[in-house]
Amino acid sequence: MERKQPKAAITRRRLGGMAVALGAAAAWRPARAQTGADVAKAKAEGAVMLYTSLDTKIVDAIIKPFTAQYGIKVEYYRGGSADVTAKVLAEADAGQIRADIVDASDIGAFLAMKQRGLLRAYDSPAAKAVAANLRDPDGMWVADRLTQAVLQWNTQKVGKAPAHWEDLADPRFMGKLAYFSSSNGDGAPRLYTLASAFGWKLLERYAANKPLRLNSPQVMTQIIESGERTAGFLINDNIAWRSKLQGKATDYCFPAEGVPTELGAVGLPKAAPHPQAGALFYDWWMGEAGQKLLADGGKYSSRSDIAPPKDSPALSQLKLIVPDNQKLFTQRADILDRLTTIFGGEWGG
């Protein structure tokens, strides 16, 4: 039987400029970060508050050399993309933005903030290494990473390894599956992307196997490592990558029929309390040094001059399924209602 091809699959050729930018993998060469910020004023401000949905191990790795070089302390709030967005919007409603830089793995977050007029345009020198179609045309945000949602399994508990999305719909995985999404619906974009490509019936078949829903991909992979659940769908590739790299009894794959990908991005709030320090950290985050550390932590950088993570395929070798971010943004309530019907539980609003 011929395997169904995703309706939303985006090939490297069809991605055009994005294909060139993301497919290249050049050797990294240390370089002094270029910045559009006033470094003296940034040092005088002396602090940066980062809101991020990125894995804390990577965040800590990026912050440490920045502080060592500039003497600027970086604190951060870490939550899911929906949590980060909600925090920024709530602070805006209260008239007191605390974030100097915002990072989130859902472009919809930046569409919402831009619509509210909460972001400021910034022409970062570091953004020049990112394809134009991965940057906001008005300079309000730039993509910093791509996260692929993959299959993961416990190698000691699963006999025949899954290779395709439909494999986990098999009844042999009844009561053995895991997936993640907080009560705010952080996992919704990738579930929607998978359903758009292969049909909502696939998600209904997953739900029939009674998967365990967890609050984060980090907890999800721990559950799979322990064998409490033997396989999971749509886990972050960097989390699965790190589990395998650490010698855990796990493996993962990028299904050949297509892999949902999510763009993460960064932007600067217009009313940030430390605008120059925030801009300086933005340039560090998006510069060669910051993005190399991001890739060292298992993430694919949006920059054209950063190689993929260790032992990982180039993005040009994967069939990426790119979500319709505008539809996700405008139809979010309907999408969350449908996921509630299929999986039950709370999905935010």
| CA 107 – CA 101 distance, rounded (Å) | 15
Report residue 230 as tokens. Answer: 């033997």
More confident residue, 222 or 22: 222
The pLDDT of residue 277? 98
Report residue 334 as tokens. Answer: 């309907």
324 — pLDDT class (breaks 50, 70, 90) = confident
Residue ranges per domain, the chain?
A: 22-146+262-313, 148-260+322-342
348 — pLDDT class (breaks 50, 70, 90) = confident
The pLDDT of residue 184? 80
The pLDDT of residue 349? 64
* For range 202-225, the mean pLDDT: 97
User: Quick one: DSSP state of residue 281?
Assistant: H
What mean pLDDT value characterizes the chain? 89
Residue 10 has pLDDT above 80, yes or no: no
Instruction: Tell me the β-bridge partners of 147.
Output: 262
Residue range 149-182, pLDDT digits in tens: 999 999 999 999 999 999 999 999 999 999 998 8
24 — pLDDT class (breaks 50, 70, 90) = very low
The CATH class for the domain spanning 148-260+322-342 reads alpha beta
Please say whether the beta carbons of 287 and 348 come within 8 A: no
* For range 232-260, the mean pLDDT: 97
Tally Cβ neighbours within 10 Å of residue 2.
4
Q: Is-above-0.75 flag for pTM?
A: yes
Q: How wide is the angle at C-alpha 253 spanned by C-alphas 250 and 254, nearest 5°?
A: 155
Please say whether the beta carbons of 311 and 54 come within 8 A: no
Q: Which amino acid makes up residue 40? A: A
Asked if the domains at 22-146+262-313 and 148-260+322-342 fall in one CATH topology, the answer is yes
CATH 3.40.190.10 fits 22-146+262-313, yes or no: yes
Residue 218 has pLDDT above 80, yes or no: yes
More confident residue, 328 or 312: 312
| CA 341 – CA 347 distance, rounded (Å) | 10
Residue 14 has pLDDT above 90, yes or no: no
329 — pLDDT class (breaks 50, 70, 90) = confident
Any residues with CB less than 8 A from the CB of 273 and at least 6 apart, and which? 49, 97, 98, 100
Residue owning tokens 């020198």: 125
Report residue 219 as tokens. Answer: 């907890």
33 — pLDDT class (breaks 50, 70, 90) = low
